[in-house]
Amino acid sequence: MTESDIAKRLMDYGFHAPTVSFPVAGTLMVEPTESENLAELDRFCDALLAIREEIRCIERHEWPLDESPLKHAPHTSADLVNEWMHPYPRETAVFPLPWIAANKFWPPVNRIDDVYGDRTLFCACVPMDESVE
C-alpha cells in the first residue's frame, strides 16, 4: 500500500486528497489552516484512525491488498448502486464513518493512473478554430 492509497481513501471520508510525495517521497503533506476548528481536526484524525484500522484488516489477511477499500478508493455513487464484487462491505466503501452519510462528497470517477494523468494532457476544450464568436 502507498501514500496515494491513503490520500485517495481520505476522499471517501470527505477530505480533499493531500499532496503526496512532496517535499519528501512516500509521504503525505497535511496542512490544516488556522481556520480549521477543533471539530474538523478531530474528524480528520478519526478518518486517519479508521484508515489505519482498514490497513490492519489487510495485515490480518481479512481483505487482500488488491481488493481493499484503499486500493479501490475513491468510491463513486455508481459503486453504491452497481453490483458489488469486493470482499469488504459496500457501506465500508462509501460511508466508512457514520457522520459521512449526512454530508457525503461523491467523486465523479474512481481511481485513475496518477502518473499517466500527470504525463498525458487531455484537453476537453473546443478547438480554437471551432469557437463561437
Task: Note the pLDDT tens digit of each residue in 35-87.
Answer: 899 999 999 999 999 999 999 999 999 999 999 999 999 999 999 899 999 99
Residue 26 phi, psi dihedral angles, 5° rounding:
80, 15
Mean pLDDT (whole number) for 101-117: 83
Residue 72 phi, psi dihedral angles, 5° rounding:
-100, 0
More confident residue, 64 or 123: 64
Query: Would you list the domain boundaries of the chain?
Result: 3-130
> What is the torsional sign of CA 7, 93, 61, 57?
positive
pLDDT for 131 equals: 60
Q: So what's the architecture of 3-130 in CATH?
A: Alpha-Beta Complex (3.90)
pTM, full prediction: 0.83
Tell me what percent of the residues of the chain surpass a pLDDT of 70: 96
With a CB cutoff of 8 Å and minimum separation 6, the contacts of 93 are 12, 69, 72, 73, 75, 79, 86
Please confirm whether the linkage preceding 23 is cis (ω < 30° from 0): yes
